[in-house]
Amino acid sequence: MAEQKKTITFIIERQDSPTSAPYTQEFEIPYRPALNVVASLMEIQKNPVTKDGKKVAPVTWECNCLEKVCGACMMVINGKARQACCALIDELEQPIRLAPARTFPVIRDLLIDRSVMFESLKRVQAWVEVDGTWEVKDAPIQNPYTATTAYEISHCMTCGCCLEACPNVGPQSDFIGASPSVQAYLFNLHPLGKFDKEKRLNALMGKGGITGCGNSQNCVEVCPKNIKLTTYLAQLNRDVNKQALKNIFNK
């Protein structure tokens, strides 16, 4: 049995430039136990020859941490958005199909530009204001239960799986998606961050905000960090509704 040479087949959707047309190529690499998609792509990079023997430009993709914390390696693997570094070959059906996450602009092959997520984080003010004229004393005390929730949400690595899987995020709509919305909630939970809660909620009520969510719940199914996105989206819905009443009656 050990003599038999096992191989893995990949069908990869490639694209030479942001504007050129996509095409697919097939690659075959020798099997190794515990191989993952990123390691396989590295194998292809060493010897970029297609299954039918044509030498081609190596496949481009992005990765960093190789342990599901940086978010960089998100791509569509066998039809679903996920992190390539923790997609184990042994658990995937062959041939393995790789494609770029087209919710985002494609730079080349599997490499995408996720900067729209960072723009959205700026829009909802996903940070805590610390610089000011006030005295900076000890860190404020945190409710440990709230901190547990905050810790869970802070695992978000801006990978974009939840945006790629969301039917309402894409060129056809202006919805910012689950991750940036829920990050606004994270900073609303913070003892200092909550001073700007109203600002964040108003941003979420604006164009592309939380009303863009249509409750398909794909985001919570695909989030590699298991963040309870739909629970926090529902909480945010409560919060923006209350804010709307305040906007109407308190001003």
Partner 1 sequence: MINVSFYLRRLHSLCGLLLLGGVLVEHLLTNASAMGGPEVFNQGLAMMEMIPPPVFLGIEICLYAVPILFHGIYGIFIALDAKNNPGAYGYSRNWKFALQRYTAWYLVAFLIWHVGYLRIYLKGIMGEHISYALVQSVISNPIVFVLYALGMFAAIFHFCNGITTFCMTWGIAKGPRAQCVVDKIAMGLCALMCLLTLAFMFSYIA
Asked if 219 touches ligand SF4 (CB under 6 A), the answer is: yes
Minimum Å gap between C-beta 115 and partner 1 is 21
Binding site for ligand FES (CB under 6 A): 63-66, 68-73, 83, 85
- The single-letter DSSP state of residue 57 is P
Q: Give, in degrees to the nearest 5, the angle at Cα 239 between 238 and 243.
A: 120
Query: Which stretch in 12-20, 32-40, 56-64, 154-162 sits in contact with ligand SF4 by CB under 6 A?
Result: 154-162
Asked if 179 touches ligand SF4 (CB under 6 A), the answer is: yes
The sheet with strand 23-30 has its strands ordered as: 23-30, 7-14, 96-99, 74-77, 80-83
Contact 160, 117 (CB under 8 A): yes
The residue among 36 and 103 lying less far from ligand SF4, judged by its C-beta, is 103
The residue among 103 and 243 lying less far from ligand FES, judged by its C-beta, is 103
- The site partner of 237 among ligand FES, partner 1, ligand SF4, none (C-beta below 5 to 8 Å per kind) is partner 1
Phi, psi of 153 (to 5 degrees): -70, -30
- The site partner of 116 among ligand SF4, partner 1, ligand FES, none (C-beta below 5 to 8 Å per kind) is none
| Pair of tokens at residue 5 | 């040479």
Q: Give, in degrees to the nearest 5, the angle at Cα 159 between 207 and 26.
A: 120
Where along the sequence are the contacts to ligand SF4 (CB under 6 A)? Answer: 156-162, 165-166, 168, 177-179, 213-219, 223-225, 227, 229-230
